[in-house]
Amino acid sequence: MKKIIITVLSFVLAVSTSLTAVASFDDVSDDNGNVDAIDFLSDAGVVKGYDDGTFKPKFEINRAELMKILVEAQGVTPDADEYSDCFTDVTDQWFAPYVCYAKDVEWVEGYKDGSFAPDKFVNKVEAVKMIINSQGFGEETGACKEELHEDVDEDDWYGPYLCVAYKKGLLEEGLDGNYLPGAEIDRSQVAENIFRAIMVKKLKKEEFKAEYKEMKGEALDAFKAEKEAIKAEIEAFKKEIEQMKEDGEDADYIKAQRDEFWGNLKELHKDHVEGLAGKLKEAHDHLKGQKDAVKEEFKACKEKLKNGPNGQGDLMAKCGYDFDDFEYEKEDDEDDSDDLTDVDDDDSDDDDDDEDDDDDDDEDDGDDEGDDEGDDEGDDEGDDEGDDDSSTE
């Protein structure tokens, strides 16, 4: 078995001056309270809005849409050949690669009946959990140090996530009155929560403060640099796969290479490794550097298995492509965060993943309001973690 050892190095990102908010959408004015968040995500390429130039800030968001936003915010556009058929109601639709990728990195789990409910609208606490996990903040969950709203049960599945969200200043709501945890969240509120989480992560702050909006140019550059670097690695690898096919490479070998690459990315995302793009490139370079040797060894192993008493068996595991062997080493002063992708519904086995797709068709398929929005933002209800029956998010 080959083990890929990746040494975690610091990832240096560019710094820019602050940006002044100028509304990017016809229906988001400069005096909109969420204009900074919406424009930031638009500039970052995380949301695009509808074909008619609107954002529809008061529209709800479904589980599939939110999944797309959170996955693409990491710079990842999952391969449809690798990610499909992960739930009974998620097969080969436009949102399948995003939902299935999220499931693979353990951000969502779905319902007990094996469904995901992609069209279901996301409620406030489901969105909070998904965003917290996508940023790697889920590891900070624990008992609340302060009393929350009267209508919030801190012992319920969402309590620890809500505590982290308040601690990090991710929510607009104060602690007075009721929070209405089961209320559906709209697109502008989701944008605000994601924006604040990215700012905290990229600026390496303990919590979000209003004055940090003046530093959003710095955070945007850091975010875009990481996102584009990851995209570039994925595109480069896809071209390599196409070249392998043109060269007539062994189909099993090609599959092994694909599984290895996506497995590396999955493991890095699951562990919230800082400098994700740099680490992915190291793993990719390692694969390329070992290509000829690995190819010959793989072919020899395959032939040996084929002629053995038990037949071919699991090629990936038996010929050195078992992802359980993927390892990386961290510097003592490095922490494991800094990619934008962790939206896990650990707490809610059943519902966790039910947060995505009510509006998928409308926004992602471009049926109703434009492809751009649906596809790019996965917005409408990307991750209903606990909303319906399953009740675990």
CA dist 221 → 152, 203, 218, 387 (Å): 37, 11, 5, 35
CA dist 376 → 346, 380, 392 (Å): 25, 11, 27
Q: Which amino acid is at 58?
A: K
Predicted confidence at residue 259, as pLDDT, reads 82
**Residue 83 structure tokens:** 């990610």
Q: Which amino acid is at 338?
A: D
Predicted confidence at residue 122, as pLDDT, reads 93
What average pLDDT is seen over the chain? 73
Per-residue pLDDT reduced to its tens digit, 56-111: 999 999 999 999 999 888 778 888 888 999 999 999 999 999 999 888 887 888 88
pLDDT at 368 over 90: no
Cα 120 from Cα 381, distance rounded (Å): 6
Q: Which residues, other chains included, contact 327 with Cβ-Cβ below 8 Å and sequence gap of 6+?
A: 3, 4, 5, 6
**Residue 330 structure tokens:** 């961290």
Over residues 152-169, the mean pLDDT reads 90
Predicted confidence at residue 205, as pLDDT, reads 85
**Residue 25 structure tokens:** 């959408």
Predicted confidence at residue 275, as pLDDT, reads 64
**Residue 27 structure tokens:** 């229906």
pLDDT at 365 over 60: no
Higher-pLDDT residue of 235, 312: 235
Do the beta carbons of residue 357 and residue 118 sit within 8 Å? yes
pLDDT band (50, 70, 90) for residue 276: low
**Residue 320 structure tokens:** 């050195």
Higher-pLDDT residue of 265, 318: 265
Cα 110 from Cα 338, distance rounded (Å): 26
Q: Which amino acid is at 219?
A: A
The sign one gets for the Cα dihedral 230, 133, 135, 115 is: positive
pLDDT at 206 over 90: no
Most confident among 45-59, 67-81, 204-218, 280-294 (mean pLDDT): 45-59
Comparing 29-38, 87-96, 141-150, 293-302, the range with the smallest average pLDDT is: 293-302
Cα 168 from Cα 163, distance rounded (Å): 9
The three-class DSSP label of residue 286 is: helix
- Please provide the size of the chain in residues: 393
Predicted confidence at residue 107, as pLDDT, reads 81
pTM to 2 decimal places: 0.64
3-state helix, strand, coil in the chain (%, to 5): 45, 5, 50
pLDDT band (50, 70, 90) for residue 5: very low
